[in-house]
Amino acid sequence: MKIILKIIFFIIIILIISGYFIENTTDLNGKIYIGIGVLSFAFIFMPLFIYYRYKDRLGDFIDSRMEQPKEENRDLEKFT
């Protein structure tokens, strides 16, 4: 997964840099390449990166968040 993320990241960087280069040197639409790079960064790279970094910690976060409301409700029941 780490290698896939690096490959996708370099492809996105190449798309964005080539888009700026095409836009400044020729009359072609380099904005298309820039847009594809930014969209792929936002909708492909970032979800994969977040999943890769937090796949082991997700269970701990969900368990701790599920336990807290139960404890708060018990404290509120004592006062009513």
DSSP state string for the chain: -HHHHHHHHHHHHHHHHHHHHHHHHSSS-THHHHHHHHHHIIIIIHHHHHHHHHTTTHHHHHHHHHHHHHHHHHHHHHH-
pLDDT tens digits for 9-29? 999 999 999 999 999 998 788
36 has pLDDT over 90? yes
Q: Structural domain boundaries of the chain?
A: 2-79
pLDDT tens digits for 58-73? 666 666 655 555 555 5
44 has pLDDT over 80? yes
Q: What is the mean pLDDT of residues 35-55?
A: 93
pTM recorded for the entire structure: 0.68
Q: How far, rounded to the nearest angstrom, does the alpha carbon of residue 64 sit from its chain's CA centroid?
A: 23
